[in-house]
Amino acid sequence: MGNRTEEKPPGAGRSSFSLIDPEKVFGALSLKPGSAFLDMACGTGQYAIVASEIIGDEGFVYAVDLWEEGVNIFMELASAKGIKNVHAIVGDITKPMPIEGNCIDVCLMATALHELTLSETAGPALAEAARVLGPEGTLAIIEFEKIDRPPGPPIHIRLTPEDVERIVAPHGFSKEQVTEVGPYNYLMTFNTDATA
């Protein structure tokens, strides 16, 4: 049962971007002009657009999603804003991405880990994140608070920060911090662990 790009993947079309405070998210990510940023499961790329504006023309943004329509919307938006430092890829983040290893400074997975955990594909996606991140790289995970109220997925598939750390740590990452980034969401950042 393979995913086909014309099918809408789970979670496609739903974005957490309108629920979060971009200043809190990007303040915690330490993006600088010239950084390389990867948005895994980017949807329509709203996080990637903000990142591209922060890192400037000398930086580079990759945005990857299985949902072709979302990737096309992202590219149209980037083009309309005159943003040229982006590369959008219709692809599966649980399989090798056409991105060189050790070249990304910040890799973001916004409200995607719970879906990957549900489909038992978090491991391959996190292994890909570890492959592309540089030795000083940061993995950033945004998830919904484990509370039983909308917006967001049902409570039984939501992840606590402890759940996220348990899932992420075996792939060579060390927890850095947990930041509240909105009334419903938190951001966790992880460093690549040189001892892993």
User: Model pTM greater than 0.85?
Assistant: yes
In the predicted model, residues of the chain with pLDDT beneath 70 are 1-14, 193-196
- Give Cα 173 to chain centroid, integer Å: 15
Name the residue with tokens 């039984």: 156
Sign of CA dihedral 116, 122, 127, 130: positive
Report the CATH number at residue 143: 3.40.50.150
Phi, psi of 186 (to 5 degrees): -130, 155
Tell whether omega for the bond before 98 is within 30 degrees of 0, i.e. cis: no
Q: What is the pLDDT of residue 1?
A: 37
Q: Give the pLDDT confidence of 104-125 residue by residue, as tens digits.
A: 999 999 999 999 999 999 999 9
Domain enclosing residue 75, as ranges = 17-192
Strand 60-65 with 36-40, pairing: parallel
Question: Quick one: the chain helix, strand, coil %, rounded to 5?
Answer: 35, 25, 40
- How many domains, the chain? 1
111 and 105 in contact (C-beta within 8 Å)? no
Position 9 in a domain:
no
pLDDT of residue 11: 54
The reply to whether 133 falls in a domain is: yes
For residue 49 the two structure tokens come to 């657009």
